[in-house]
Structure 1
Amino acid sequence: SCNTSVKDARVSKRKAAANDEGPKRKNKRRPDLEKTRQSVDALRAEFEAKYKQQDQLGEGGYGTVFGGYRKADNLPVAIKHIAKEKIGCKHVDETGKQLPMEVVIMLKLADKRSRSVRMSAPVSLLEWYDLDQEVILVLERPIPAEDLYDYINHNGGSLEEQEAKIILKQLVDAAIDLEEKKIFHRDIKAEDILIETSSDVLRVRLIDFGVGCFIKRGACYRKLYGTPDFIPEWFSLGRYRAGPTTVWQMGVVLFDTLHSDAAFETTEFLKDRVRISETLSENCQDFLQRCFITDPKQCPTLEQLRTHPWLNNTNTTHRQTDSFMYW
């Protein structure tokens, strides 16, 4: 379960006075609904005064994202609206209040962010608003940038191996950074990876922590969140763990980056109906094969991936790969 509790709310029960002497204590009353409504209206007015919302950028199962900017300085932002009825992962704070797990994770990332980011990091949460029927997240919006799925399609359907290596090296670093902070993204895929193209060297940014959670040592997850096809343990065991799942997702992203025409499908791979292209360098093929080890006990760690020769060899031949096949 992704529901967590920091600390149970402590409730102090007081006994009523045994006689009529002295001042009587008033019973606790429910929050005044009119005051609550005024508070929500004030928050919405504050949001609208600070930010200009523009065209829709995307929509998923847990929210809708719009482009926009901060009025004070024209800073580009992404504005994510999450209907409270669609919040899948929640966190219970010390007061007993339920918060979207995405907010809690991003607040932790902001609190723990180091000054020397490894050239790959989640986008920042600038502000958030807890309204009556929805939660609004105001997020950093790198410009110019596009998600990896679109970037691949705009570059002919696959990337050269050297360019894919630049992306994967940063992505593995980002995944290690999350793991060190005990954060499990759960759904790393091309659509949730932004590629900044403002300089000669591409920069990778991670987005959408809507199904993320905090990692507990040795924990297995028995409730599925994210994209089922990116969690192989789910098909065989009905459960999954953070480390092996994230390593598998590294492989899926790399596979989709280097192979054109069709996306990787875990179910087809498990049936031995997907092949890694032999036109890739031997080190790259080995990297993918290690990501796709189906036994979680034999799966490499993210740190082991980081030291793999393919990520650390700068002499990879630039070559475009052909399509893979289902048969």
Structure 2
Amino acid sequence: MVREGGGGMRLGKYEIGRTLGEGNFGKVKFARHVESGQAFAVKILDRKRILELKADDQIKREIETLKLLKHPNVVRLHEVSASKTKIYMVLEYVNGGELFGKIDLKGKLSEQEGRKLFQQLIDAVSYCHEKGVYHRDLKPENVLVDAKGNIKLSDFGLSALPQHLGNDKLLHTTCGSPNYIAPEVLANRGYDGSMSDIWSSGVILYVILTGNLPFDDRNLAVLYQKIFKGDSKIPKWLSPGAQDILKRILDPNPSTRINMAGMKSHDWFKQDYIPAVPYDDDEDINIADAALPIKEHDEADDHRAPSHINAFQLIGMSSYLDLSGFFEKEEASERKIRFTSSYSPKDLFEKIEGIVTEMGFQVQRGNGKLKVKLHLKGSASLNCPGSLSVAAELFEISPSLYVVELRKSYGDSSLYRQMCAKLSDNLGICKSQQLLMTQSLMTEACKFTSEMTHAAL
């Protein structure tokens, strides 16, 4: 039960405080247990928004998955309750930000620091696999860091459980983030969730140690060809052990790729390794009956109009890939927004630079990306009002159509949303322009299919 009191909003035994972040489904609020004083994070999800985005299965999957996991390197779910309009997930409070932000600030981490984080990541991922959970969206943005520098794996909305395996005991849903997705996931022939998570973990390790992505290209077809070939350049300045483990993880053939046991017995990995011990408590997670299912079946739903099909869904119908939602204009979430534009890359970067400079931001260019930063005098911390860092990157769909991705590293959420709105309003294309481009995108889809088939062979 949520109510307003003299000390602010109350959710049962929790006092709700400041907003920690905002996403597509609602907000994350700081909370404190009234009796113990312990800090928590409460995800407040809007039921209507979840249904509008057809994400009810995703939310249910995340809750079901987190119920199973009790590990020091996995974000802990403590309680789930609901009202007619909201779902409340009471989670462990992690106050150190994302691994992405840590790498972005430092550029790259030392092998000693990077190895410690990677050991914790592998402990968390291998524990999930033992519980029958495959994450399927491992990336630095989904790895949190606490005040002591320990990692907490989060965001299990795309995870798979044993009941999601096919008759061949493999997974078949193509999902994940473009730069971190395993080649066998793209091939659409079924894949082992454990081996695909290992690949994504290896991409994270590469980013931790080098500050760069092992597979990157503005053109998505070229990016996926690089992933299929395992075409990464492992720097010679890394230690021989680091080079070897990266080479063995980023093997495009899952049958010869190093597995969890091999990784944990690797000499580089074993240095100063202290295995994490899963929690042995029997805490019973309270999930209110009203929380799941998110919506009862309604016969009127059987007569809904067909959902809008975007460019990447068209490509997905005729090739190996379905990146639904990558094409359509999104609302600014807490971490990133994507919108489509018909401006050339050169013009886009120049126009973005001009717009954000007028807003008072500083701009840095490099490696095909653009970084936007703002620090006001008197800013005491990275997350205080007036401080913001955003990276802008382009992806090519066709020679006349690009996706702009704006990803927040840290800073003021209000400033970030203002900047996203201004850029997408000025540089994005409208729905009528999208319709005019459908024919050319279908042609591009056929070309994409041919290129991907050739790469897979």
Normalising by structure 1, report the TM-score. Answer: 0.68
1:313 to 242, 254, 271: 271
**Over residues 59-93 of structure 1, what are the superposed CA-to-partner deviations in whole Å (9 max), with x where a residue is unaligned?**
445654233322333322111133341463639xx
User: Are positions 1:227 and 2:177 aligned together?
Assistant: yes
Q: Larger Cα Rg: Structure 1 or Structure 2?
A: 1
Aligned length: 256
Q: Quote the offset at 1:208 in angstroms.
A: 1.6
Counterpart amino acid of residue 202 in structure 2: G
* Higher RCO (C-alpha under 8 Å, 6+ residues apart): 1
Counterpart amino acid of residue 183 in structure 1: V
**Over residues 223-251 of structure 1, what are the superposed CA-to-partner deviations in whole Å (9 max), with x where a residue is unaligned?**
23432432222333364330121111111
User: Are positions 1:125 and 2:65 aligned together?
Assistant: no
2:57 to 90, 100, 118: 90
SS of the aligned residue for 2:2 comes to helix
User: Are positions 1:237 and 2:188 aligned together?
Assistant: yes
SS of the aligned residue for 2:104 comes to helix
**Over residues 265-322 of structure 1, what are the superposed CA-to-partner deviations in whole Å (9 max), with x where a residue is unaligned?**
363444666412111011101111111111122222112111111111359xxxxxxx
| Equivalent residue number for residue 152 of structure 2 | 205
| Equivalent residue number for residue 301 of structure 1 | 259
Counterpart amino acid of residue 113 in structure 2: E
Alignment of 1:115-194 (within 5 A): 120-143=72-95, 145-154=96-105, 156-194=106-144
Counterpart amino acid of residue 158 in structure 2: V
> Residues 247 and 157 (structure 1 numbering): CA distance in 2 closer, same or farther, change over 3 Å?
same
Query: Following the alignment from structure 1 to structure 2, what is the Cα–Cα distance between the partners of residues 62 and 238?
Result: 32
2:11 to 48, 68, 73: 48
Q: Quote the offset at 1:104 in angstroms.
A: 1.3
SS of the aligned residue for 1:53 comes to strand
Query: Following the alignment from structure 1 to structure 2, what is the Cα–Cα distance between the partners of residues 212 and 271?
Result: 26
- Structure 2: state its 5+ residue gaps: 4-8, 217-222, 274-366, 369-457
**RMSD of aligned Cα (Å):** 3.0
- Structure 1: state its 5+ residue gaps: 1-42, 92-98, 316-324
Counterpart amino acid of residue 138 in structure 1: V
> Residues 275 and 269 (structure 1 numbering): CA distance in 2 closer, same or farther, change over 3 Å?
farther
Counterpart amino acid of residue 253 in structure 2: D
Q: Quote the offset at 1:172 in angstroms.
A: 0.8
| Equivalent residue number for residue 240 of structure 2 | 282
SS of the aligned residue for 2:73 comes to strand
Query: Share of identical aligned residues, percent?
Result: 25
